[in-house]
Amino acid sequence: MAINVITLGRLAVEVNGRAATELQAQPVRCALLVYLAVERSATRNELAALFWGDDDDRRARASLSQALSDLRRRLAPDWIERGRDRIAVGAAVSADVSVFLAHVEAGRDAAAFAAWTGDFLHGVNLEAGVQFGRWVDATRARAARAFRTVCRRYGAALMAEARLDEALAVAQRWADHDPLDDDAQALLRAVRAAAAAKPPAATARAASASPAPPAPHAPHAPVAPAPAGRAVPSATPPVQPQGRHEVLTVVRKDLGWARVQHSVVQRRSRLL
């Protein structure tokens, strides 16, 4: 047997995973269940004063006993542990706000942020007396302060790890919950500024992985046909001498060839 009392953002009671909708038609009994699920235990005098404070003690205690018996019949016989002066709920009863607060106190910010689904008993009016209404206001304020703490710590941790999408979700949810909170607005601006300054990872990876395109080749200029009787020049340009030694070698070869030509001319002239 498991009884889950959902109080964050709404009010619902689930018994073994099934909604117990008939309880919401009895606001005082439903309020009694919510109080005990959150506080875990209370004395009979405390409960009688909280819900039947306008009645005398005898009548208030009688109303309490009747309400507890009715809840046992509707939920389960062993959902409470009744003592002589004190009433406590068993381990089978849980409340989401208590789970949320336990995560906050233990520093489990990710789990706490996921468990938060709205303000305590948001939009719910059980009309169970002035004292119960004051308790609801105090519990709602406590849960809201805890949510603020979670958002501040968790958002800063996500920013430090550069998990900007998750940090933005935290900041946006915090700002939506309390638009006038300066810290929420400051976190939202900081995350947006960091996201705007960070280049898209996909573009950076694509730019680093793609090879540079080859440089376009310049088109070859068309070669005009040479006139008749004239040799077509070679497409390969002659190698020009670059160093001093190369220049001297060429000059010496040219001079030697000139001497050979001069000797041949002299021999021909003698023969003639």
Retrieve residue 20's tokens: 């117990």
In the beta sheet, which residues pair with residue 93?
Answer: 3
pLDDT of residue 67: 94
DSSP H or E segment with residue 86: strand 86-89
DSSP H or E segment with residue 15: strand 12-15
Please spell the DSSP secondary structure of 90-141, one letter per residue: -TTEEEHHHHHHHHHHTT-HHHHHHH--SSBTTT------HHHHHHHHHHHH
Kindly report, residue by residue over 172-221, the tens digit of the pLDDT: 999 999 999 999 999 999 999 999 987 765 434 434 544 545 555 545 44
Burial 61-83 (b: 16+ CB within 10 A, else e): bebbeebbeebeebbbeebbeee
Kindly report, residue by residue over 136-181, the tens digit of the pLDDT: 999 999 999 999 999 999 999 999 999 999 999 999 999 999 999 9
Measuring CA to CA, which residue among 6, 30, 33 is closest to residue 17? 6
* Burial class (CB within 10 angstroms; exposed 0-12, middle 13-18, buried 19+) of 221: exposed
